[in-house]
Amino acid sequence: MAEMKGALTGADIRKMATEWHGLDLSDLRADQIAAEMNTFNNVTRAAADRLRYDDQPGSFAGVLKKSARSAQ
């Protein structure tokens, strides 16, 4: 999987922590969160290639129900 350009840095996270949530993060913790966020971003972005524009809302519950029917 390709790394996303412009990945978040600890400084970005520290800025968001202060401006969005009124939190004061240490440099170490901000760097850890940035690394975690970049992983989530990359993984989800890559997996999202499987999505279609015509996905229906509530389809998770629908697939679960259909699976019950297929067992009967």
Partner 1 sequence: MSELNELSLVEAADAVRAGRVSSVELTEACIARIEAVQPTINAFISFEPEAALAEARQRDSEAASGNYRGSLHGVPMAHKDLLYRDGKVVTCGSKVLGDFVADTTATVLVRLEAAGAINLGTLGMAELALGASGRNEHFGHCRNPWNPDHITGGSSSGSGALVAARGAFAAIGTDTGGSVRLPSAICGITGLKPTQTRVSRHGIMPLSYSLDNAGPMARTAADCARMMDVIAGYDDNDPTSSTEPVADYEYGLENAEIKGIRIGVPTSHYYDHATDDVKAALSESLDVLKGLGAEIIEVDMPDHTIYRDLLGVILRGEAGSIHARWFAERPEDYSTEVRARIEAGLYLPAVRYVEAQRLRPVLLKEFLDTVMDKIDVLHAPVMASAVPTLEETDSGVSDDALLVNEQLAYCTRAASFLGLPSLSVPCGFADRGLPVAFQLMGRGFQEATLLKIGHAYQGATDWHTRMPAL
Give the footprint of partner 1 on this chain (CB under 8 A): 8, 13, 16-17, 20-23, 29, 32-33, 36-37, 39-41, 43-45, 47-48, 50-51, 55, 59-68, 70-71
Alpha-carbon gap, residue 33 to 48, rounded angstroms: 22
| Closest CB 51 distance from partner 1, rounded Å | 5
The least distance separating partner 1 from the CB of residue 43, rounded to whole angstroms, comes to 4
Structure token pair of residue 50: 């499987």
Least Å distance, CB 31 to partner 1, is: 12
Distances 4 to 41, 45, 49, 57 between C-alpha atoms, Å: 8, 9, 14, 28
